[in-house]
Structure 1
Amino acid sequence: MSFDYDLFVIGGGSGGVRAARIAAGDYGAKVGLAEEYRMGGTCVIRGCVPKKLMVFASAFPEAMADARAYGWDVATQGFDWTAFRAKLDAELDRLEGAYRSGLTNAGVTIHDTRAVLEDAHTVRLATGEAFRAKHILIATGGAPFVPEIEGGATLLTSNDIFKLDALPKSVLIVGGGFIACEFACILNGLGVEVTQFYRGAQILRGFDDEARGHIAELMREGGVNLHVGTDVIEARDVAGGVRVTSTDGRETVFEKVVYATGRKPNTAGLGLAALGVTLGRQGEIIVDEWSQTAVPSIYAVGDVTDRINLTPVAIREGHAFADTVFGAKPTKADHDLVASAVYTQPELGTVGLTEEAARDERPIEVYATAFRPMKSAFAGRPDRVMMKLIVCAETRKVLGCHIVAPEAGEMIQLAAIAIKMGATKEDFDRTVAVHPTMAEELVTMRKPVRKA
């Protein structure tokens, strides 16, 4: 049986690009890749990268206020969204170009169009072309999910925020996950009047309870009008914005309403179910530990599999796939002890088990502290940092680490290395503190605050 490609990848995000580049560049496979939007996927074009640049931009009002407290004569004319967006767009163009050149330099043939599957070895492009491939990799990621709301109002998602012509004066963020909380903090920092609704009892479900409560309190103190146990009943377009009726009985007009209520895998219309590829309840592709589907020639990596929806995980999965299938190096992506960060203000960095998950499995000790960091305390701000270690009472291994602090994402990366290596609480205790830093608290917590 002859094939046009050894591998055809559908999706040009982080996971698909890594798999294609390694298969072609390192192992000499003939690879084609189809992407219907822009190369780089959610992370580069409408996720991690532009979001983090907006996080940086939104932090300057607080930094300038601190500068005045430290004796600097600082004046500002306000935030120029138009100028920032122009630079943001230029940076995304640059990154997309880098992704493209990386693929072409590796020998990958790029098809800038949508692709669907016709059979276990055939993909058909929207142009009408069809190609046969020995292996097919689905890496189409996910997309924001917006529930149907009475009233038919114009609702935005996180994708739309990066393309706003102007910042609204007021916005309602609906949702309580990390995307909702991050954009609530970003827009608040940029001077928008932000209200956030979440139907659950507390934001950031799935994260450590103590940490999420700490962040919720600080978000409110920072100016976000956060309401939990609250949802939208009806939303109608009116003069000046969107009139929202909420479950607490209020009617409020917001200039914009942004839904960040979760994401769904991009599998609709690909022809997967008809070929025997098993899909989960949310449309996610079910794969084994080698990222292989129920159809042997078809694989899937990244958010479309709904395993751990993080860019570095998708990259690891794509690389492991290429090593396994084309490099004769059977490799499973490691999904254990994956660190992550939530870019709220302040940030949450986390790795390992939450207190709630750990205490359901084994006896534990909890070491925790909260304090005002030196920098903001001197400036007169009421910020409070929280650090927390979850320790197995029997083995003394550190099972989880949770940090709420400025630059928590930077700190958790280093803590994750030690925890991944199996560090015990005594290993942390033996480490001499770096003073004066916030992070030194990780190695100076001597007595547990509670046991479970």
Structure 2
Amino acid sequence: MADYDYDLFTIGAGSGGVRASRVAAAHGAKVAVAEEYRVGGTCVIRGCVPKKMLVYGAHFAEDVQDARNFGWTMETCRFDWKVLRDNVLKDVDRLNGLYTQTLENHGVEIIPQRATVSGPNEVTLGDGRKVTARHILIAVGARPLIPECKGHELGITSNEVFHLDELPRRILIAGGGYIANEFAGIFNEFGTHVTIINRSDTLLRGYDQSLRDRLLQISVMKGIDFRFNASFRGIEKTEDGCLRVSMTNHDDLEVDCVLFATGRIPNTEGLGLEAAGVTLGERGAIAVDDYGTTNVPSIHAVGDVTDRVQLTPVAIREGQAFADTLFGDKPTKVSHDCIPSAVFSHPPIAAVGLTESEARNKFGTIKIYQSDFRPMKNVLAGRNERSLYKMVCNAADGRILGIHMIGPDSPEIMQAAAVAVKVGLTKDDFDATVAIHPTMAEELVLLK
């Protein structure tokens, strides 16, 4: 067999790349990782983790208000964006260090440079050096998609939002997906006036209609404005430093910040994959088989760059499976069915399995069980916000096809419920389980 500098060379040190590299090294492979920015990837550096910290910070706005009816009085209470921002970024630094330490402890060489593919078994580094590898793994993730319109450079994306010098008084968020709705909730709680602009009239496409309708209703009650069926015409800076946005089907809008949250595309541009013969699909996604291998047997890919399911836990699973298959003599496929997901909106959404419409299309006759209730905390707080839990079942055998929830702590509750759906439990199994009272989670075993 030919000699190579490495058994595995990974391009990208995000969630999938770090897991694959660490596990491959644990199996005895000689591994190097090239990362041009920081170890940790989108999730740790500019995504899930810092965003969830902002979500926690935003929740205190309502908690402070609700506390009055629970007997608590806070005479002086103010929010300092810079304190939260700096503490979040400090924790990102901590996690970056931990991820780096994990790779180093497993003997993985970290190369802090950009790397491109220059052949089936060759990688070219940013300094011009070429190295060879028996296998090359592409794990470079995805990047924010920025709409093409005049003045788009005046907007920001989720990459820059964590570094704002100050809170905008008015923000326009473009998009109807989870990133747009999450940041809409965050900024609204911080006191920013939020407007969402969306090309269609649908929020959170792919989630159950009942949950989408409920989130829209609650968001409007909280003061978030929506402009549907609207596309950008242009963005321009005014004399006083504000941004004037023109759009289709609506009047111009003046804001202090425009945040693009219009989706993410695979980050394959300029990687040299076409020259190496790797097949790319729609939007530049890397086409792979069930084991993460491209049409070039020595080149592989995991995570968002394949544009299958853009979720951190999925990238981690794919990285683990890839390393076990190739270096652990344990062929492993990752199932992309029945993946639970969450939207950390205000309130949050969680879901697993088929929506009501998907289930009807696939099975025909189904049964729907729902609980539409006001959480106990909201009752005493005087907050009218209601939660909704929904279970979709196959009418023939009672098997649970999907569970959909909107309300406080829904993602935390869903993780356990997702196990039940994954293994094929029935409504009778839930009915036979004694409730934990008083909790919101007990609604799942009391659905009618």
CA contact (8 A) 1:153 1:242 kept: no
Aligned to 1:435: 437
Q: CA deviation at 1:168?
A: 0.8
Aligned to 1:51: 51
Q: 1:105 to 1:384 in 2, by over 3 A?
A: same
The DSSP-based 3-state class of the residue aligned with 2:86 is helix
CA contact (8 A) 1:174 1:231 kept: no
In 1, the alpha carbon distance for the partners of 2:156 and 2:94 equals 26
Letter in 2 for 1:377: V
The DSSP-based 3-state class of the residue aligned with 1:282 is helix
Q: 1:77 to 1:374 in 2, by over 3 A?
A: closer
CA contact (8 A) 1:153 1:236 kept: no
CA contact (8 A) 1:152 1:237 kept: no
How many residue pairs are counted as aligned between the two chains?
A: 445
In 2, the alpha carbon distance for the partners of 1:220 and 1:439 equals 26
Aligned to 1:357: 358
Q: 1:343 to 1:376 in 2, by over 3 A?
A: same
In 1, the alpha carbon distance for the partners of 2:263 and 2:99 equals 27
Q: 1:347 to 1:2 in 2, by over 3 A?
A: same
Give deviations 1:135-164, integer Å, cap 9, x for gaps: 000000000000111345501111111011
Q: 1:76 to 1:195 in 2, by over 3 A?
A: farther
Counterpart check, 1:284 vs 2:319:
no
CA contact (8 A) 1:23 1:29 kept: yes
In 2, the alpha carbon distance for the partners of 1:444 and 1:203 equals 29
Letter in 2 for 1:323: D
Letter in 2 for 1:192: T
Q: 1:11 to 1:421 in 2, by over 3 A?
A: same
Aligned to 1:307: 308
Counterpart check, 1:37 vs 2:37:
yes
Q: 1:76 to 1:421 in 2, by over 3 A?
A: farther
Q: Which runs of 4+ in 1 moved over 3 A?
A: none
In 2, the alpha carbon distance for the partners of 1:307 and 1:151 equals 31
Letter in 1 for 2:378: S
* Structure 2 portions without partners, runs of 5+: none
Aligned to 1:112: 112
The DSSP-based 3-state class of the residue aligned with 1:264 is strand
Q: 1:411 aligns with which of 410, 413, 429?
A: 413
Q: 1:273 to 1:153 in 2, by over 3 A?
A: closer
Give deviations 1:1-60, integer Å, cap 9, x for gaps: 110000000000000000000111x21110000001111000000000000000000010
In 1, the alpha carbon distance for the partners of 2:250 and 2:99 equals 49
Aligned to 1:72: 72
In 2, the alpha carbon distance for the partners of 1:115 and 1:53 equals 31
Please report the RMSD computed on the Cα atoms of aligned residues, expressed in angstroms.
1.0
Identity of aligned residues (%): 50
Aligned to 1:421: 423
Bigger drift between 35-44 and 273-282 goes to: 273-282
TM-score of the aligned structures, taking structure 1 as reference length: 0.97
In 1, the alpha carbon distance for the partners of 2:241 and 2:206 equals 36
Counterpart check, 1:173 vs 2:173:
yes
Give deviations 1:224-269, integer Å, cap 9, x for gaps: 1122222322211112321011223311210000111110000001
Q: CA deviation at 1:78?
A: 1.5
Q: How does 1:135-174 map to 2 (within 5 A)?
A: 135-151=135-151, 154-174=154-174
Q: 1:377 aligns with which of 356, 376, 379?
A: 379
Aligned to 1:343: 344
CA contact (8 A) 2:366 2:394 kept: yes
In 2, the alpha carbon distance for the partners of 1:335 and 1:202 equals 24
CA contact (8 A) 1:203 1:228 kept: no
Give deviations 1:399-425, integer Å, cap 9, x for gaps: 000000111110110100111121101
Give deviations 1:374-428, integer Å, cap 9, x for gaps: 1111111111100000101112110000000111110110100111121101001
Give deviations 1:55-101, integer Å, cap 9, x for gaps: 00001010011111111112343211111122111100000000000
Letter in 2 for 1:245: S
In 1, the alpha carbon distance for the partners of 2:255 and 2:165 equals 17
Q: How does 1:22-33 map to 2 (within 5 A)?
A: 22-24=23-25, 26-33=26-33
Aligned to 2:243: 242
CA contact (8 A) 1:13 1:42 kept: yes
In 1, the alpha carbon distance for the partners of 2:367 and 2:209 equals 16
